[in-house]
Structure 1
Amino acid sequence: MFFSSMNVSQKVETEEDLLTYLRIKLYHPQQNFKGLFALLPLGNRKRHAADDSLKLGRDSQTCAYALVDARVSRKQLSLQAYRTPHSQEMLFAVQNLSQKGRMSVNGVALGYLERMELPDKALIRFGEYEMLVVREPGEAKGSFEVEFEVLAVSPFRETCVCVPSTTPVKETSSCFSYSNGLRVNGPLETDETITFQS
C-alpha cells in the first residue's frame, strides 16, 4: 500500500512537469507615468490552479492579479481553464466581470458575464488597456503557469488580429471604433456605481 501511494505521487509530479504556459503582455498608453502594473509579478512565472479562475481587476482582495487604476473595475475579467472530452490540451476562456465596462476579444465585444473561448493568441481590450494573451500548450491537468510582462508599444500594431467586419478599425489617439458597436474611449469607470460612457 505504501509503495502504491509513492507511485501515484511520483506520477502526479511527473505530469505536472510540463505545464501549460500563459504569457500575458500588457500595454497602456500612460504606463510610464503611472504605477499601473506595480502589483503584478512582472517577469516571474507563477503557478495557478487550473480549477481556480484567474481574476484581474483593481481589487487585490478578490483578484489574483491587480491593476493600480481607479478606472478599472474591482473585478474586470477572469481567465478560466477548461478541457474538452476529445483533447488533452488545457484551453482557456475569458469572461467579462465588469458590470459597467466594455471589453473586446480580437475585436468582438463582450458584455457583462459574457464569455468567449480564447485562441492560442488573443488581443483583449478594455478601456485604454491592451492585453495580448499567448498560450503555449502543456500536458499537466492540475495547474498552469502565467507570466506578465509590459510591452513598450501597443500589441495591436504588432499583431494581425482580424476584426470580424468588412469595415476597418478606425484609430485615433485615444479611442478605437469597431463597426460591431463597441467604442472604447477614455476610462471605463471610476466606480462600479458610475455608468460607462458610450
Structure 2
Amino acid sequence: MNVSQTIETEEDLLTCLQIKLYHPQQNCRGLWGMLPLGKRSKHSADDPLRLGRDSQACAYALVDPRVSRKQLALQAYRTAQSPDMLFTIQNLSQRGMLSVNSSALGYLERMDLPDKALIRFGEYEMLIVRESGEAKGSFEVEFEVLGVPPSRETCMCVPTMAPVMDTGSCVKIDSNPAELTALGPLEMDETLLCQS
C-alpha cells in the first residue's frame, strides 16, 4: 500500500469559522478591501486570529479609521473531553465595547465563543458560525458580506420571556397576540420581530 494512501488529509477535516459581516455604510466605502471574501483561508490554531485596522498586527484588517488597531481576537483551543476545536473571543479595543450575543465584553475580557454568535462593535455586526472539524493544527476562515444585518436575519438571542415596558412584568413569547395586546404596549426590539 502506498504511504500517501494511508495518511489522513487535514483538508477534509478542518474546522471552519464562517464570518458573515455587515456595516450600514458598506456599499459606499471599501471596508472589506483587505479581506479574502468568498474563499477559505487556512489559519494556524496556535496563533490568535486578530481582526482590526492594523494589517501588520492583525491577520485580517478592516479599512475603517473608526475600528481599533486591534479590535478582537479569536483563539482556538481543545478540551480533553471533546475532539472539537473550540474558540474564545477577546475584546482587544480600549475604545469600545464588544458584545457577543448581547453579553458585553470590556477591554481584554474574553469568553467562550458559541457555535453561532452575533458579534457587535461600533456599527459592525458579525455572525460567526463554527463548522466542526477534527483537525488539531489549523482551521479555516471564510468571510462573506451580508446585505442585511444578521441581527434581523437570525433569532439567536430570543429570550424565553419578553419584558413589558410599562409594568416590568414578563409575557411568554409564545402567547397569542390577543393576550399581548390586552397587556398594553410592549418594548419594540429585535426579539419581537423574530417570533413570527
> What is the deviation of 1:171?
5.7
Alignment-derived partner of residue 140 in structure 1: 135
Q: Which residue of 154, 157, 177 corresponds with 2:149?
A: 154
Q: Which residue of 94, 102, 111 corresponds with 1:107?
A: 102
Deviations 1:93-113 (A, max 9, x none): 100000111110000000000
Once structures 1 and 2 are overlaid, which stretch shifts more, 15-24 or 145-154?
A: 15-24
Gaps of 5+ in 1: 1-5, 173-198
Alignment-derived partner of residue 183 in structure 1: none
Distance 1:72 1:20 in 2: 27
Distance 1:167 1:146 in 2: 37
Aligned CA RMSD, in angstroms, stands at: 2.4
Q: Partner amino acid for 1:108?
A: S
Alignment-derived partner of residue 97 in structure 1: 92
TM-score norm. by structure 2 comes to 0.78
Provide the identity percentage.
Answer: 72
Which structure has the bigger radius of gyration? 2
Q: Post-superposition, which runs of at least 4 consecutive aligned residues in structure 1 deviate over 3 A?
A: 163-172
Distance 2:11 2:144 in 1: 24
Alignment-derived partner of residue 190 in structure 1: none
Distance 1:108 1:170 in 2: 19
Q: Does 1:38 align with 2:19?
A: no
Alignment-derived partner of residue 67 in structure 1: 62
Whether the aligned pair in 2 keeps the contact of 1:16 and 1:141 (CA below 8 Å) is no
Q: Partner amino acid for 1:117?
A: D
Q: Which residue of 120, 128, 138 corresponds with 1:125?
A: 120
Distance 1:15 1:156 in 2: 33
- Relative to 1, partners in 2 of residues 1:46 and 1:15: Cα closer, same or farther, differing over 3 Å? closer
Distance 1:59 1:15 in 2: 30
- Relative to 1, partners in 2 of residues 1:74 and 1:167: Cα closer, same or farther, differing over 3 Å? farther
1:89 counterpart SS class: strand
Gaps of 5+ in 2: 165-186, 191-196
Deviations 1:102-145 (A, max 9, x none): 11000000000000111110000000000000000001000001
Q: Partner amino acid for 2:145?
A: V
TM-score norm. by structure 1 comes to 0.77
2:24 counterpart SS class: coil
Whether the aligned pair in 2 keeps the contact of 1:23 and 1:148 (CA below 8 Å) is yes
Q: How many residues are treated as equivalent by the alignment? A: 166
Alignment-derived partner of residue 44 in structure 2: 49
Distance 2:50 2:139 in 1: 14
Q: Does 1:19 align with 2:14?
A: yes
